[in-house]
Structure 1
Amino acid sequence: MQGMMLVLAFITTALLSAVCGLAPAFVERRSVRTRDLGWVAGLWAAIWVFCLCAYHRPGLAEGFDAFRLIAITAMCGWAGVCIAALRAFGRRGLRFVVPVLLVAALGAEVFVGNVAYFNTHSYQPFQLMDYLDPNVNVGRGTGTYTLDEDRSYLRFLEIDQPIYNLHIDGLVNDDTDPLHADSALFFKIEATDEANSELNTFGTWQVGTQAPRTHTISLDLTGNVGTLTLTASGYSSTYAQYPVAVTMTGITANTPRAMNFSLLRCVAVFLALLAVYGLRPASGLWKRRWLAGNVCDRGVALVLGAVMAAFVIVVPFWQPGNTGLATEHYNTAYWDGESTV
């Protein structure tokens, strides 16, 4: 069944690529040229190269179902329509190009910005705490597990199945210090898999208690996992130390990621595409002498320069931790309690 779905996906994407690649020739009422065929082949190849990268865990053909068929076909249709529209109407001005760029930004947000959603849709989740070593010293409540400075180690035995990602369920910060409300901790990940018979380190997992996106991490393990250990340590810097003090309800392995449509990211992509179109070599912006023009042209140039200068000044102070400044009123988490700066 999976093989049939994969073959069907090859056929449908090839047909869509052919239609979208040859469409500009029919719109412009001309004969098909070699470059049209090049667009057909390029679009089809680009879609499948992207899919090979996007579905690398556990693999493109693994778990290839109707949902993946529809997703890949829809992505091919979106990319093909955008490319065909730009080729056919790209020289007719903004009123034709802006709608195409808007569709391109929306599709990029859905298919590229949420690639993890499509990649993990076929995952079969399981609770990792079911494999927790009973001899591990960890705080155990009614459906909860507590880690602190004296109990910071988790070991899971005889898992014997693949693990593609981990997600912490119901994470709660137990640190009562007001300055540690947004604390962070690190998990050192070690595991044995089909390529490593002894515990091997697979990186560090940084978790922010108030940052839900950090509660999930993707892993690059080979085949079935035998033993997995997580060793927690608190975040520490020159002026701030956060102890290990958290409670969780569990750790889910192979959790499907949710669709996360970001309007801000979509708008940013749209503006970036619009800027690329406006700054292309054939654009009139390159041919216009702004500073030598009328008052309006000079005003636009001055405003643009002021915006760029403001970014240079404002961006370093946007995130307090990046400024290098800390006082009793500003960036207090990094203040040593004595120095004026």
Structure 2
Amino acid sequence: MQNNIKFSLVMPLFNSEKWMDKSIKSVLSQSYQSWELICVDDGSHDDTVKKVELFKEHSLKIKLLKQKNSGPAVARETAITVATGDYIVFLDSDDYIESEYLEKIIELTSDYPDVIIPELMSQTKDSEFYSFNKVNKLVKGMSFTGKQAFRLTFPWSIHGFACYKTELMKQFAIGDNANYTNYNADEYITRVVFLNSQKIVISDGKYFHTANLDSLTKIPSVRMLGFLLTEKKLIKLTELNDPQFLTIVKSDSLRKIFNSYLNFCLNAKYFTAQEIAQVKSDHKALYKEIVKKNYKYLSSPKESILKKLIYKIFSYNFDFIKLIIFARRLGL
């Protein structure tokens, strides 16, 4: 066991008082104790800061940083700049880790891999947990190159709820990579880090990802349009680093455009007519970028036959989605 390795756990916080206790307590209960917990309050207006202060009274390993509301990616960047550990672990305030999590991670650090990916226990709407790793046949000790892991993210059959070398995060997870959007910059950063990694290994330490319906990413909002910029950057990233994989990445983006625009339209009551017009314009702009230059849609092995057909037709005609919206509203 590499007892000299220190972990920096990073937890962005925004109005998290209702669910953060379990997350912080899961860190305090770790069997491996060489860690620091860096909490970054992202401009909360509830009692989040007060609760962190109470936890700080019981552990000097907990640090609290404050910033104006800038989004979770910038909050993580703030923490990364002050992290003193050898590895960084990102922990959302509504998630938690098992007590042996760090101990199981440390078992795989003998040759100092760039990224260590734990077993992701993902919660369903019925509050049950299932193993993402088992579904995707990710087994402890399995190893990937950076490019192999990058390719497995389209669509996600590997995940980014991981433990990263601090030096990699200080190089690739701050600056423009964190600041370009306040929505899902982490999905872009994960891929950039994967591409710049030599070795990525799988652990059996359990990370529990909860289905918090109050979480930012679950509430319909125009801010979700930030994902379109992420998709555009991912296409550019692939063009520069893995051009042979470009059609698959574009096809993954096409599916996201379809499902995102469909979701906005089916939830039109949350938006003004002007916002819906912006939603359509932004989605269609990226759609046109994808389908130009003799693009041919490539289906995912995970798709049903019906979805393959729907996405294929959509790749030829953006307005085909109107028929799907009509059918959904009829309950078909």
TM-score by shorter chain over 0.5: no
Which interval holds the TM-score relative to the shorter structure? under 0.3
Compare CA radii of gyration and give the structure with the larger one: 1
Could you state the TM-score of these two structures normalised by the residue count of structure 2? 0.27
Could you state the TM-score of these two structures normalised by the residue count of structure 1? 0.26
